[in-house]
Amino acid sequence: MPSPLRKESPTGSQQPDMTVARGGRLPETVDEAMQGLNQSVEVDSALWRVDILGSKVHARGLARAGVLTEAEANTLVRGLEQIEAEIESGQFVWDPQREDVHMNIEARLTEIVGPVGGKLHTARSRNDQVATDLRLYTRSAVDDVIRALVDLERTILSRAVSEIDTLMPSYTHLQRAQPSRLSHHLMAWHEMLSRDYNRLVSARDGLNESPLGAGAVAGSGYPLDRAWVAKELGFERPMRNSIDATGSRDFLMEVVSALAILGVHLSRISEEIVIWSTTEFGFLTLSDAFSTSSSMMPQKKNPDVAELIRGKAARLIGHLTALLVLEKSLAFGYGRELQEDKEPIFHAMRDTMLSLRALTGALATCTFRRDRLEGALEQGHVCATDLADYLVMSGVPFREAHHIVGGLVREAETEGVQLSELSVDVLAQAHPSLMRPEAREALDARAAVERRKLVGGPAKACVLKEAEEAERRWVVALSASSWRRI
């Protein structure tokens, strides 16, 4: 059966019959493959809301410049509002033969208001129009991501405060290292994510300029008030160069770079959730809402939420790579390959929001196994450094103290005991200072944690102060009229 998009020639071969919005320079029909390549409405229709917003402000700006009458501008705005309602209600039909979101909306506008609809595009190109849409969309989406990130941060803060008395080992090389506390570990997650917050705020500030009025590439000869338009759209200022305004997408690269780094950090936290929820560690139990069972093994409780977030991090890195490669060979001025800039930013925002919300829910509802966390301090000689420090305070050079305690660890492993379980005689043979009762105190994990009371340390007072200061910063950030770095 012949394709409905083609017609039969007299010889029986199929010929293209594709009517598209091509303008006066080109014929009205193109090949089906070109039509498929050319149209983007399936993707960029997601920009409809900001596209209509930009068009409303542009119409009013044309009236301010004397290019349209107030009556014409009002007619256009009313027509755009009708289209907005149609899309909201699902009545609007997107036509791929009209290529993109802009032409679909403009065509429908002309159907509603008549020939005056053709005046809306005066002093505007799809080049500055789409650049404006993308900045409006990205700014709003970044705001949503920042809010979700703050929710995650405050959830971590809440868990840190509630677990302030839970001790655990700290790790290097995934080996037990020194005594610490769970709250200190959670605050490490918080600090890392705070840098992500600052990166997103900086990226948002950098993109908040208006391309509208830059035209196709060389601006406009109409007396537009670009500063007024920028202010009406919530931008800080109009962009300073029309070529750069229409043909650069580094603002997308910067935002998605911040999202990719955030994704890596969420993946690191998720990796620890996977490890901590194993039977071997048993530090954490996820709620059933954020776990799944095996289709074959009925005893399994899998940490799928964490594994899926690790997978999303890979996608975020891919979205960033796509944007970087997309622009690397672009000459100055708009190029049609920029049509491909939307899927990476749309998917990056979606993947980030899903990851943030899921991880927030998982951490809010998980159970930290205090018995297993603190029990892990009983193996691995985690107070060895504290014993070496005790020798140093007794006048022994650190390198010698390190050597002495290393020998004691070897002896403990030979005997199959922990460092704290070695006899007084063994300790005395290593160094006379170890005969004192204070030497045994050096091997107490809770006392060891409290000795580390410098700024950034795991002592209870330090962690509580860090959490209180962090909460104050979030209160200030959330009460401000716009996002600010913390």
Mark whether 173 is an active-site residue. yes
Q: Which of 162, 294, 423, 482 is catalytic?
A: 294
The answer to whether 133 touches 105, Cβ cutoff 8 Å, is no
Nearest to 216 by CA among 124, 144, 111: 124
Question: How far apart, in Å, are the Cα atoms of 369 and each of 306, 373, 376, 463?
Answer: 18, 6, 11, 20
Question: How far apart, in Å, are the Cα atoms of 431 and each of 110, 415, 441, 475?
Answer: 93, 19, 16, 53
Looking at residue 30, the DSSP 8-state letter turns out to be: -
Q: For the chain, first and last CA: distance in Å?
A: 64
Question: How far apart, in Å, are the Cα atoms of 99 and each of 20, 95, 106, 122, 228?
Answer: 7, 7, 12, 19, 30
Say whether 392 sits in a helix, a strand or coil: helix
User: Tokens 């830059």 map to which residue?
Assistant: 214
Give backbone dihedrals phi and psi of 237, rounded to 5 degrees, phi first.
-165, 165
d(CA 197, CA 203): 10
User: Tokens 């691995």 map to which residue?
Assistant: 380
d(CA 46, CA 41): 8
How far is Cα of residue 428 from the mean position of the Cα atoms in its chain?
56
Nearest to 241 by CA among 221, 211, 216, 220: 211
Category of 475 on φ-ψ map: left (φ > 0), alpha (ψ -120 to 50) or beta = alpha
Q: Which of 9, 13, 173, 481 is catalytic?
A: 173
User: Helix, strand, coil shares of the chain as percentages rounded to 5?
Assistant: 65, 5, 30
Mark whether 55 is an active-site residue. no
Looking at residue 366, the DSSP 8-state letter turns out to be: -
Q: What is the CA radius of gyration of the chain?
A: 31
The answer to whether 18 touches 6, Cβ cutoff 8 Å, is no
Q: Which helix (H) or strand (E) holds 352?
A: helix 342-365
Active site residues: 173, 294
